[in-house]
Structure 1
Amino acid sequence: MSRPSNPSATSVLALDTGAAATPARLAAGAIGDSASSAALARLNAAVSELKALSIQPLLQGAVNALNAGKPDEGAALAMKALELDERSGFGWYMLALAREMSGDFASSITCYEAALKLMPDHAEVANNLGRLAFRLGHTEVAEKLFRAFLKRFPNHHEGANNLACALRAQMRFDEAVEVLRAAILEDPSHAVVWNTLGTVMAEQGDSENAAIFFDEALRLDPEFAKAHYNRGNMSLALGDPAHALECCETALTKKITEDERQMMLLARSTIKINLGRVGEGWDDYEARLSPHFADVTVFSVNRPRWAPGDDLAGKSLLVIGEQGLGDEILFANVLPDIQEALGPNGRLTLAVEARLVPLFQRAFPTAEVGAHRTLKIDGRSHRFVPFLDGRMEEIDLFTPIASLLRQYRRSPEAFPDRVGFLTPDPARVAHWKIQLEAAPSGLKVGLLWKSNIINGGRHRFFSPFEQWAPVLRAPGATMVNLQYGDCAAELEQARRDFGVEIWNPPGIDLKQDLDDVAALCGALDLVIGFSNATLNIAAACGAPTWLITAPAAWTRLGTDRYPWYPQVRSFVPPAFGDWAPVMAEVADELAKLT
């Protein structure tokens, strides 16, 4: 077939959002659709030129099947074509598209690679391979593929957009802006480029400018679903959840793929919770379990799934922790209610992150507690419960832990006024009280200032370390390091720039020894920090805790408190990213204590 000689004739699928991360934990980005009607129409035209080939009818049938939304049928026809001619680049390309449509990303990327070797000058194959590599998290590979495309087709706005998405994912924001700026100067009429520029601004915490760029994208293309979605995220960050919900609802009425729909439903869930519509929010939160959600975790448990309203009395229930380690702890707020519902003849089995097993076993001594395990299979996360191998028939029902909230936490008032539901080791608490006597005198304050997870824009919800200066200098307080991960640079900065020595507790791995971390938190006078795994451990164990949280944090459930842990005091900045006032407030309140 003839090959296109200019970019306008080349089929390119843009990474048209990498949607700006919402304040929700699970916000995700859709990055294009290899089986869009426009792409398949171009493919159909290309295949129609292969009339001289014996496999043309099979390839034509595969295109028709993909157009009809039948990827399995398309894959079968593509494989028949490859049986006749294993060097058919279009055969491999068709099989790649079909596998991707079916969610089999690992096979799809292999097929794209085969197609690219046979059709090295076919731009759409290279672009799709880069797009899929991006989706699977191989951002450096995606960057190379997009740069190769732009080398052949310079000034191509969609190629520039895709490259900017890959750079943004690597937090190379200045480079991403320059790529997008050049594309806009070349032609400012493309909504997708303005939208991606908005996501780069949003990733850096510049919500106001991000909103301006999303508005421009919508001016250019009012039907642009992801720009509506992203604009809603910025409204949420700017303190207008009602407008955020309106934007999300509008996005859901536009033409979107099913994985985009599930992403937006998940975002809508946290917006509703932010507005106090907690029960509705938990119902939408089930979108995280849809097989069409790009970041779904598949729970490999061959037992009936619990549903709201199911009678638990006398049953054997398996509850599986999910999402991040801090989330497993947060959602465990509901477990005492579950034990009560199971009654004396019921049996609770808990599958949690391995480091949490001792802490949960002590808190729930009548339950069986073991570690879950997660594996990546064909690009998807699959969670297993290996300690129940051979005994799964003993389980009557199973559920991911957050699903229980649909029945037991449908309003802020449904959260009990119960301080602590996890139990630190009393002997280790006593040990740490003795150890803390060796620290400088004063109120012993545990300090947390960051998360080791910084992808998806999460870094925007943590202030720069230098903003902590007034808190660190509070008179009469001894700061105790609770921060896991590499924090040597911050400890040195506190010593050098603030004149503050943050005391390091001896003989503890703050990332791995979580049972001992819980005991250390129980020995402190106060824990202060942003929401990460350790802060959730401290709060769940009943430690006095001050939480610094973003204005749009959905976990406050639309209240001015933190219902998950009634003893936690929340400090909220006046605007997103405006950390100085809230740090000054925390410092003043700490000075009153000391």
Structure 2
Amino acid sequence: MSDVNLLDVGDYDDPHWQAANVLLSTRRFREAVTFVHQLGVEARPPTLNIAGVAATVLQARPLAEAFFRRALAADPDFVQTYNNLALFLRVDGRQTEAEQVFHQGLKRAPDEPTMSMGLVNLLWLEERHAEAEARLREHVRRHPADADARFKLGALLLTRGKFDEGWAYYEARYEPTRPGAPDPVDFGCPQWRGEPLKGRSILLWFEQGHGDEIQFCRYAPLLKERGAAKVTLVCKPALEPLLSTLEGVDRIAPAAGTQEIETHDYWSYLVSLPHRLGTRLETIPAKVPYLSVLPERRARWAGMIPAEGFRVGLVWKGNSELANDKNRSLPGLSVLRPLWDVPGVTFVSLQKGAGEEEAAAPPADQPLVDLGRLAQDFADTAAMIEALDLVISVDTAPAHLSGALGRPCFCLVPSEGLDFRWLLERSDSPWYPTLTLFRRARGAGWETVIPEVAAALEAAVRQAARRTTPAL
């Protein structure tokens, strides 16, 4: 069961609870269930709650629910079990029941933070964004020190296009009290919070994934426009050659060589720049291209890109280590099979890392040119994308790179775990004018989206043919 790590067993001075908890903490789940069974009527709510958690891990679903409900029947004020039962019901697909249990628990304990955020997550997953926002605002009002809640409120507000507040709350992502926050960085200078930059130097520190760096590096030139004397952009090594094409940056430094970087007047996280520069939905700096292809890379790949047909680059998997990868990546190349029914198309794999094995040996009825594995860095991928007519990609770095290069891209976006940058419902992106978004509905499979992508591909092929057919 996913979210089992969110289940709460508390801490009690009770010998039965302590014995059951030893079994649970040492992963002896069956013994824990048996022990509580043997206690019979002597089992009190905290111990019944442990048995429910153990049964949940064992996927003994009816038994787990029975333990949780026994605990509540014995003590309707035992708040932990409301949260655990609601989480159990949510993951079991019984959303309405889960919501009811969350509300029942919050009536008895309005300030219980875990249950409050559990309800927020349920509403968000159900795409009831206005209700989730209202509940999350109430949670933040009651728990202003909860950095994770403020970060999530920021992400939700940004998803809803409410940039004025969203960017400010999103800054909570690096607060030390937020679970999982990275260690603070120290560059020997203050963090930039919007002070005048005329004649000053500023160091920009990368964060999050390659796609985030590609998206937000567009802000570096804006600091030059504000009079910054020197702008240094630190990036992941695979991006260094590509980002050298970005105007308005004095130095691109790979993270591996940061010990050689001199002290600056200020430093900033890259994704903090929209907040500090006051970006609103209508003022997103979306002039593309803002990255380009290095001439030597263009020459390197010139003879390797197929010359025939309407050339489409494919990316069907992202980084498997990303928490939401199970929602954004396709199960496999075969899901894209309807695209091969569009005549006149030559497919090229841009897949790097996960998915390379499929690209090397694709199904017989899905021929493609396998080039992604040959890319040494993103400058190589940029050269490939420039030579293609279109990229079709899941929500991962090549989609951002296509947009930054001003190249056409169909981006496949899941509703579950939706990234804030894609906003809601839109098929276009204010960040990237050349991207078209294809959204998978909540609970649906990717096979429901691909026919729509195939139809759009066919239209693009026809349009390209009209452009290249000479008038009679």
User: Under TM normalisation by the shorter chain, which class is it?
Assistant: 0.7 to 0.9
String of CA shifts for 1:85-137, please: whole Å, max 9, x gaps. Answer: xxxxxxxxxxxxxxxxxxxxxxxxxxxxxxxxxxxx9659959xx9xxxxxxx
Kindly indicate whether residue 200 of structure 2 is the aligned counterpart of residue 315 of structure 1: yes
TM-score normalized by structure 1?
A: 0.65
The residue that corresponds to 1:425 in the other structure is 294
Within a 5 Å distance, the mapping from 1:122-133 to structure 2 comes to none
Q: Aligned partners of 1:420 and 1:547: how far apart in 2?
A: 17
Give 1:288 shift. Answer: 0.6
Alpha carbons 1:450, 1:530 under 8 Å: kept: yes
The residue that corresponds to 1:278 in the other structure is 163
Q: Do the aligned partners of residues 456 and 213 (structure 1) sit closer, same or farther apart at CA in structure 2, a change above 3 Å counting?
A: farther
Q: Aligned partners of 2:381 and 2:424: how far apart in 1?
A: 30
String of CA shifts for 1:512-535, please: whole Å, max 9, x gaps. Answer: 522211211122111111111222
Question: Which structure 1 segments of 5+ residues have no match?
Answer: 1-14, 20-28, 47-120, 131-141, 165-174, 374-383
Counterpart AA for 2:353: G
The residue that corresponds to 1:268 in the other structure is 153
Q: Do the aligned partners of residues 507 and 270 (structure 1) sit closer, same or farther apart at CA in structure 2, a change above 3 Å counting?
A: closer
Give 1:183 shift. Answer: 1.8
Q: Aligned partners of 2:335 and 2:316: how far apart in 1?
A: 10
Within a 5 Å distance, the mapping from 1:267-306 to structure 2 comes to 267-297=152-182, 298-306=184-192
- Secondary structure (helix, strand or coil) at the match of 1:548 reads strand
Kindly indicate whether residue 417 of structure 2 is the aligned counterpart of residue 547 of structure 1: no
String of CA shifts for 1:7-60, please: whole Å, max 9, x gaps. Answer: xxxxxxxx9x959xxxxxxxxx867698xxxx4xx57x99xxxxxxxxxxxxxx
Kindly indicate whether residue 88 of structure 2 is the aligned counterpart of residue 197 of structure 1: yes
Correspondent of 1:370 among 250, 253, 275 = 253
Give 1:492 shift. Answer: 7.6
Correspondent of 2:319 among 452, 455, 461 = 452
Q: Aligned partners of 1:194 and 1:257: how far apart in 2?
A: 27
The residue that corresponds to 1:530 in the other structure is 394
Counterpart AA for 1:385: T
Within a 5 Å distance, the mapping from 1:108-147 to structure 2 comes to 144-145=26-27, 147=29
Give 1:387 shift. Answer: 2.8
Within a 5 Å distance, the mapping from 1:225-244 to structure 2 comes to 225-244=113-132
Q: Which deviates more from structure 2 when the two are superposed, residues 191-200 or residues 334-343?
A: 191-200
Give 1:283 shift. Answer: 0.3
Give 1:563 shift. Answer: 1.7
String of CA shifts for 1:361-390, please: whole Å, max 9, x gaps. Answer: 2324752221225xxxxxxxxxx93232xx
The residue that corresponds to 2:77 in the other structure is none
Q: Which deviates more from structure 2 when the two are superposed, residues 472-481 or residues 351-360?
A: 472-481
Correspondent of 1:568 among 432, 435, 448 = 435
Alpha carbons 2:20, 2:35 under 8 Å: kept: no
Alpha carbons 2:348, 2:369 under 8 Å: kept: yes
Alpha carbons 1:336, 1:421 under 8 Å: kept: no
Correspondent of 1:483 among 351, 359, 375 = 351
Q: Matched residues, percent identical?
A: 22
Alpha carbons 1:184, 1:193 under 8 Å: kept: no
The residue that corresponds to 1:504 in the other structure is 370
Q: Do the aligned partners of residues 565 and 485 (structure 1) sit closer, same or farther apart at CA in structure 2, a change above 3 Å counting?
A: same
Correspondent of 2:32 among 138, 141, 150 = 150
Alpha carbons 1:548, 1:572 under 8 Å: kept: yes
TM-score normalized by structure 2?
A: 0.80
Within a 5 Å distance, the mapping from 1:201-216 to structure 2 comes to 209-210=94-95, 212-216=97-101
The residue that corresponds to 2:271 in the other structure is 402
Counterpart AA for 2:370: N
Counterpart AA for 1:397: Y
Q: Aligned partners of 1:579 and 1:197: how far apart in 2?
A: 26
Correspondent of 2:133 among 218, 239, 245 = 245
Correspondent of 1:589 among 433, 456, 472 = 456
Alpha carbons 2:163, 2:280 under 8 Å: kept: yes
Q: Do the aligned partners of residues 293 and 331 (structure 1) sit closer, same or farther apart at CA in structure 2, a change above 3 Å counting?
A: same
